[in-house]
């Protein structure tokens, strides 16, 4: 089974369409969205419709959760005012069916594979949807408190893999940055892994191209691909809708 792993689409339809066009040429079987399909961008309706059309299996990200909170009169305290305004605008664009679908997304999904052990999908970390696994220190703590073998995450918008290897004095934790147009990684079964495919809709590693991953559970191979898309179309739509100018500017520099 080959899994297409999308994360942090952030209502960026041109980026999503470019990724899907590219990914479906690589024989994927199932699609998983690792959270934050919404937030920041100007195309929430189009993104949700496209995810539905390909039967994507979605989990909640912190922006998705914050949007649902606004429906109930709750506001996430640590979000900038401009981000909250964007989420409120997205609520107004989405229909009841869209909002109901998002409300039914789980915080995590676990997958049992035919040949190898299970893998977990979570937005932030194996233990939390809001934890940023953005350093060796955080990864080390996650590995120490989680007993699984493989977890795919998003949230940081950075394509990276953390691995934990048994050692005489405990576990040795390493980091591999997954930079480049096409990067392959062997998920070795004797190690444990936390892997991030990067962001479809708002990359933050200095490369503005959309990022996505493919995991083959038979060969235990993981690939990261980068795809060009019309980011100016998204930036124009952000400005036309009167959304956060910073969100438009960040697209052009990949930050």
128-149 tens-digit pLDDT: 999 999 999 999 999 999 999 9
* Side-chain half-sphere CA neighbours of 120 within 13 A: 20
User: Quick one: pLDDT band at residue 80, thresholds 50, 70, 90?
Assistant: confident
Give the residues across from 195 on adjacent strands.
152, 161
> What is the average pLDDT value for the chain, to the nearest integer?
94
Q: Is 113 within 8 Å of 144 (Cβ atoms)?
A: no
For residue 117, pLDDT beyond 80 = no
User: What contacts 13, CB < 8 A, 6 or more positions away?
Assistant: 41, 43, 46, 47, 50, 234
2-253 maps to CATH 3.40.50.720: no
Q: What is the pLDDT, as a whole number, of residue 76?
A: 64
Q: What is the pLDDT, as a whole number, of residue 9?
A: 98
Q: What is the Cα 185 distance to its own chain's centre?
A: 18
Q: What is the pLDDT of residues 18-30, one digit of tens each?
A: 999 999 999 999 9
For residue 180, pLDDT beyond 80 = yes
The domains of the chain are located at 2-253
Q: What is the pLDDT of residues 207-235, one digit of tens each?
A: 999 999 999 998 999 999 999 999 999 99
User: What contacts 231, CB < 8 A, 6 or more positions away?
Assistant: 14, 15, 208, 251, 252
The DSSP output letter for 170 is E
Q: What is the pLDDT, as a whole number, of residue 118?
A: 87
Q: What is the pLDDT, as a whole number, of residue 38?
A: 98
Read out DSSP for 113-144?
-SSS--EEEESS-SS-SS----SHHHHHHHHH
For residue 49, pLDDT beyond 70 = yes
Q: Which residue has the tokens 């909250």?
A: 84
């Amino acid at each position: 089974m080959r899994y297409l792993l999308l994360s942090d689409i952030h209502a960026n339809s041109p980026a999503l369409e470019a990724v899907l066009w590219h990914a479906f040429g690589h024989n994927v079987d199932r699609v998983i969205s690792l959270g934050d399909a919404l937030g920041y961008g100007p195309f929430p309706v189009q993104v949700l419709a496209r995810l539905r059309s390909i039967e994507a299996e979605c989990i909640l990200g912190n922006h998705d959760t914050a949007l649902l909170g606004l429906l109930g009169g709750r506001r996430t305290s640590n979000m900038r005012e401009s981000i909250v305004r964007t989420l409120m605008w997205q609520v107004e664009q989405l229909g009841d069916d869209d909002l109901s679908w998002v409300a039914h997304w789980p915080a995590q999904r676990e997958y049992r594979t035919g040949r190898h052990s299970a893998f977990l999908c979570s937005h932030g970390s194996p233990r939390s949807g809001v934890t940023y696994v953005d350093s060796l220190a955080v990864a080390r703590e996650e590995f120490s408190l989680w007993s699984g073998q493989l977890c795919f995450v998003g949230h940081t918008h950075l394509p990276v893999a953390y691995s934990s290897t048994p050692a005489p004095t405990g576990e040795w934790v390493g980091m591999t940055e997954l930079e480049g147009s096409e990067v392959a990684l062997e998920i070795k079964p004797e190690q444990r892994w936390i892997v991030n495919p990067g962001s479809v809709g708002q990359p933050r590693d200095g490369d503005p191209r959309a990022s996505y991953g493919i995991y083959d559970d038979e060969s235990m191979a993981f690939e990261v691909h980068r795809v060009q898309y019309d980011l100016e179309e998204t930036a124009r739509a952000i400005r036309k809708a009167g959304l956060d100018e910073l969100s438009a500017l960040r697209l052009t520099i990949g930050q």
